[in-house]
Amino acid sequence: MPTSKEKWFCEKIALGKRAGKIKHCFYIDKLVFKGKTDFQEVLIFDNSVYGRIICLDKIVQFSKSDESIYHEIMVHPILFSHPKPENVLIIGGGDGGVLREVLKHSVKKVDLVEIDKRIIEVSKKYLKFVCKNSFSDKKVKIHNTGGERFIRDYIDYYDVIIVDCTNPEPKGLSSELYSIEFYKQVSRVLKKDGIIITLGASFLDFDTFVKKTFKRIKRVFQFAAIYRFTMPSYHCGQYSFIAGSKKINLASVDFKEIEQGFKKISKKHKFSYYSPEIHKSSMILPKNWQL
């Protein structure tokens, strides 16, 4: 059992409207892992409501009860929207959840670029329910370097790039992955019909973080879209993924084709949250969130 001081974990509030105004805490039923890598603090604990929870730098990443929402919505709307996703790049994603979902599709190659090698090791040991056997798949190659450095060596190569990184805090570990310069590099790396998706922010911070990231992606890519999802273990619930494409209008994809693709893949793989209906509904936003 944790010590008396460790019985409760209170999340560090990300920048935005919530900073210094709200506390978000979880009771630690069992402390599973606590340590510090070369890049960030890692905490994993069990909670009787949410199950196992992982936190990086005192921010909740997901829980066992809702990780499928995050990982499935980040992956499947864009992979089903692409006509033939073969080469996929994942930047971040050291827990293996995004990788697990990507491998449900008929991809040929997946490069996973995770700067923090220790996160992968910890995930294999304590988050097996997330990564399963995805890291050992023959289609996967793991690179322990920064995503912005890795893509400099590629041009017109990937069909899909998924940026599964931490929050966009200034001077934070992932700050460069939200810059206009990074999105311009991504555009050069993607093929003509390529798609990028990245984590946005809470809709409480729509006018700052969400809108800012959307506008940066829209400056580089002809088409951009926001996907809304609700994570019970996240601070203030509703969050966003933001995607961009040079050629594919993500807001008007053919859902008949998506339904056919989903039906085919569903014969072999299970989906806990995603469906074509969820895909469609995730793009329905109230007027004050439309861009």
Q: Is 57 in the active site?
A: no
What does the angle CA 205 – CA 207 – CA 209 come to, to the nearest 5 degrees?
55
Task: Write down the H helix ranges in the chain.
Answer: 67-81, 97-102, 117-126, 128-131, 147-150, 180-189, 211-220, 255-266, 276-281
- At 97 the three-state DSSP class reads helix
- Identify the active-site residue in 153, 164, 205, 207: 164
Amino acid making up residue 236: C
DSSP 8-class letter at 207? I
Amino acid making up residue 66: D
The span from the CA of 103 to the CA of 137, in Å, is 9
Tokens of 84: 């033939």
The span from the CA of 20 to the CA of 2, in Å, is 26
The residues that are catalytic are: 164
